[in-house]
Amino acid sequence: MAIEWSGSSPELLLRVDRAAPGTLRSQLERGLRDAICTGRLKADERLPSSRQLARQLGLSRGVVQEVYGQLTAEGYLCTRTGSATRVAPVRVHPDVAPGERPGTGARTGTGAQVGRPGRPAPSPRLRVDFAAGVPDLASFPRGDWAWAQREVARTVPTAELGYGDPRGALFLREVLAGYLRRVRAAVAEPDDIVACTGFAQGLNIVLRVLARRGVGTVAFEDPGYGDGATMEAAARAGIDAVPVPVDEDGVDVAALAATRARAVVVTPAHQWPTGVVLAPERRRALAGWARDRDAVIVEDDYDAEFRYDREPVGMLQGLAPDRVVGLGTASKSLAPAVRLGWILCPPALAGLVADEKRHDDRGSPVLDQLALAALIESGRYGRHLRHMRGVYAGRRAALVEALAEHAPPVRLTGLDAGFHAVAHLPDGADERRVVGEARKRSVGLYGMSTYRASGAADPPRLVLGFGDVTEAAVRAGIAGVADLLRG
């Protein structure tokens, strides 16, 4: 927790040397950057006002304002309307796991203090972090969420304050069923929905249910989830996991049919991480495989909310509701901290999934479920999504323009939806070297090799997330590693 100063502006020990080479502005900029990188200034810590710091150092206020502006653009500082300039929050991604999918295992925080015994040294602070799967956390609709929580606290019936139905609050399940029918073209009824804490819990529950029904092998897309959590979930459920290749049309159904799998986990709307959309003929073929094999498709409805250049794609579940389990969450549409998701079950599995959820935790937090339902029903959820589509579209355009300007040999794919893209590096590029050298420049890049079952780094690809990176930071980050990207 950063120190919260009250009253007058906080003091800060910085010096500039008028006899030293270089401009006073560059000295101040370097001094502040070093103070942040070494941990002397912690995340969210308040800085002196530009007027006070200028007076303290004998500089013009304009020089201090220029330095604050530059460090804000680089992601070291942040400003909020009506508030002081502060050190920006930091996401630290361990060097030992570059490319880990945030939200399923990536750590957050500022790291341990240097020199404190028994604690590891902090990972390097990233000036720009292109981690994929992270939404714009600063845009979380705090006001709308606070409104929804107040409304729920004011109106919730006393009976709703007990343990309740392990499937979740009926009001949320009714609202979600209507939303999924209307917006995702799903076949959904409240009795077929089970609320959960997110994708990971939903997948764990579904795999355990499938194992009890005799499923011995589950297939996953390759490339696919890179953090190992899905493979571990299969192992814990006592199920073998096999990779199935993905091409420009999505998962290869012929290759899937050649395996012993009786279940498959797919991301049809925006494949993680290649970004391709499952082609219509593949959708039909996949549904046919499930019928012929008496198999189950687990659909991660990932990135479905954010589409740009093409018409929205409905859930695969709408094509085969008796064969598809749909998983959805509020982690990308709102924020991972909300910890709410849902499992849309075939009627034959709904009771088993609800029973497994009851054994897990007796049910997800009811008041938060009701708050999410209130957001959706009131239209505030849809308004937030429309706003964020514009925000992400701007960052997407900044990424395209920055690469066209600084690294034209790099081709981008997977841009139709979501807030990540795939950068195709020139043939012969060393993906791991690019990632490592970029990190030395405080730019977080993540290789496709992390998401491949084989771990192969060829062909060289990068997965570039722009959800939690401002347009200015996107441009600065690409400019800073352009020579690496060009090969």
- Give every CB contact of residue 235 below 8 A, 6+ residues apart in sequence: 241
Q: Under a CB-based contact definition with an 8 Å cutoff, are residues 322 and 287 in contact? A: no
3-state helix vs strand vs coil in the chain, percent to 5:
40, 15, 45
Q: Where are the domains of the chain?
A: 24-87, 128-140+384-486, 142-380
Integer Cα distance of 479 and 487 in angstroms? 14
Residue type, 112: A
Confidence (pLDDT) at 90: 58
| pLDDT tens sequence for the chain (487 residues) | 444 444 455 677 788 888 888 898 989 998 899 889 888 888 888 888 888 898 889 999 999 999 998 898 888 999 876 678 889 885 433 333 333 333 333 333 333 333 333 444 445 689 999 999 999 999 999 999 999 999 999 999 999 999 889 999 999 999 999 999 999 999 999 999 999 999 999 999 999 999 999 999 999 999 998 666 678 889 999 999 999 999 999 999 999 999 999 999 999 999 999 999 999 999 999 999 999 999 999 999 988 888 876 677 889 999 999 999 999 999 999 999 999 999 999 999 999 999 999 999 988 999 999 999 999 999 999 999 999 999 999 999 999 999 999 999 999 999 988 999 999 999 999 999 999 999 999 999 999 999 999 999 999 999 999 999 999 999 999 999 999 999 7
Q: How far apart are CA 345 and CA 326, in angstroms?
A: 7
Topology of the domain covering 142-380: Aspartate Aminotransferase; domain 2 (3.40.640)
CATH class of 24-87: mainly alpha
Residue in the block written with tokens 């981008």: 412
d(CA 80, CA 75): 14
C-alpha closest to that of 133 among 420, 329, 393, 342: 420
For domain 128-140+384-486, the CATH class is alpha beta
d(CA 399, CA 405): 10
Whether residue 64 contacts residue 53, with contact meaning beta carbons closer than 8 Å, is answered with yes
CA distance linking residue 384 with residue 377, whole number of Å: 13
Peptide bond into 223 cis (omega under 30): yes
